Amino acid sequence: MLLFACKKEDQNFQYEKLNEITIKTDTLNFSVTQLDTLKIIPTITESLPDGTQMDYEWKIYAQTGTNASAIVLSNDKLLNAEITLSPDNYFLQFKVTNKSNNVSKYAIYNVSVNGAFYEGWLVSNNHGGNAHLSFLREDDVILHSAAAAVNNKIYPGNALSAYSATGFNMAVVMFFTDQGVYRLNANDFVQNASTIGVFTGGMQFSGSPVYGLNKFESDQYIVNNGGLYAGLGAAFYPGEVLQPFSDRFPGDYSLFPTVIASSQGGTYFYDNKYKRFLDVSYTGRTLNVSSGSAAAAFDLSNVGMTMVACDLGVQSYSDDEYFFVMQGTSSRYLLSLKGTIPGMNQQILNSPEIASAVHFATSSVVKQMYYATDSKIYLYDMLANSSRVVYTFPTGSKISSLKMLRSTSKRIVAAVNTSAGGSVYYFDLDNTGDLIGNTYSNKFDGFGQISGLSYRNPS
């Protein structure tokens, strides 16, 4: 049996060398800002080049998550792709395949996608018959129609306003249009809810709806059409932040669109119907008439004037200062509230066009306020009780928003519309409150008709 089993066979094998592919880049780690372009130029070499065509594939997927799905970015040799992914760390796989023998070579890279919306101005604007939310970043990069680009959708109707809340364990943006409200993740602008998710029963919006937190960040508030609505904040209830808001707070009132988070003891609102302050306790869902005194600078429970504007003054851990422009019987007044204590109550004098001004911005450093008419910006000195014009825009311009850069109080920002579209102007301030160089320091164009500005602070 052994003799038959050990028959010798011819061992005449032929070996063919394969064309081996090598992929090289300067680094294996890349960083890109969301909505920017990621460019990678690999060097590809072959051990036996024979002119065979290659197939290429760039595929990206998150480094965390068991069900992380991969997205093909490109099928070109050189990667040149806009990154719309949310901020996170990703693996990027580059695959090169020899079409003659289907042998593939892989290279794996680490990619950090940084948030495109870390800090800057939310610019609500309208063009082309649709609402747009753009972002003017702190580094002067403009992300036009950012919400539409990130979510690949059209927002119908007219943009009204947008506000962000970047407090404890929360970072959201509320974008209001006359067709509804859209809640976005502040870090990447990905939409996580529309009107039906924010308000269980739906909601119609008009005017200038506002969104904000109380000082302790336990509650979120929306003021719309004079009514107040609330949701829980992240300070005590992080799991409830994305739950629907309450029904309209009960009562006979019509609120000015502002959230006055001046005190840790509660949050104030102003009732323009009965000319008085109202307040809400933490996690409370009832508006109460504020306790006041006729001996104070003004009686919180019976102010007797119509609120025209509200803006922030000096901030502190315990109490913040707020200023209010009020319309009296025949003239306008400036009032202030620090914490729960009324402070200033003076008739505004020596101030041209103050009666027609609708946009105001106060300083958090000095006792100064800026106000705007259609084309002029004035500086009001609270202590001297007088105003002077500091800038005039060309004929045909209309100021639609005026804001203070709160972090420094060294810059005012104006949104200005003309027949050609909207622009955002930066005016830097010297120590006296005058404009440095008597003109703007920067101008940003390309927006539609701007309806509102607000600042997105870093998370």
Task: Return the pLDDT at 365.
Answer: 95
Instruction: Region of 350 please: left (phi>0), alpha (psi -120 to 50) or beta.
Output: left
Start and end residues for every CATH 2.60.40.10 domain found in the chain = 21-114
| Tokens 């259609």 sit on residue | 374
Neighbours of 211 (CB within 10 A): 28
CA pair distance 412, 135, nearest whole angstrom: 17
Predicted pLDDT of residue 52: 79
Give the residues of the chain that fall short of pLDDT 50.
Answer: 1-4, 66
Predicted pLDDT of residue 326: 98
Tokens 């680009």 sit at which residue?
149
Domain 21-114: CATH architecture, name and number where available: Sandwich (2.60)
What are the φ and ψ backbone dihedral angles of 356, each rounded to 5 degrees?
-105, 0
Of 104, 108, 78, 74, which is closest to residue 91 (Cα–Cα)? Answer: 108
Is-contact 200 248, C-beta < 8 A? no
One DSSP character per residue, 312-336 reads: E----SSB-EEEEEEE-SSSEEEEE
DSSP 135-151: EEETTS-EETTHHHHHH
Q: What is the DSSP letter of 429?
A: B
Q: Where in the chain is the domain with CATH 2.130.10.10?
A: 120-456
Distance CA 116, CA 112 (A): 12
54: Cα separation from own chain's centroid: 44
**Residue 163: partners with Cβ closer than 8 Å, 6 or more residues away:** 122, 173, 174, 210, 211, 212, 454
> What is the rounded CA–CA span in Å between residue 282 and residue 214?
8
Long-range CB contacts (within 8 A, 24+) of 346-355:
346/382, 346/385, 348/380, 348/385, 348/387, 349/385, 349/386, 350/385, 350/386, 350/387, 351/378, 351/380, 351/386, 351/387, 352/378, 352/387, 352/389, 353/378, 354/378, 354/380, 354/387, 355/331
Q: Looking at domain 120-456, does it have CATH number 3.90.25.10? A: no
Q: What pLDDT is stored for residue 6 in this prediction?
A: 52
Residue 160: φ, ψ to 5°: -105, -50
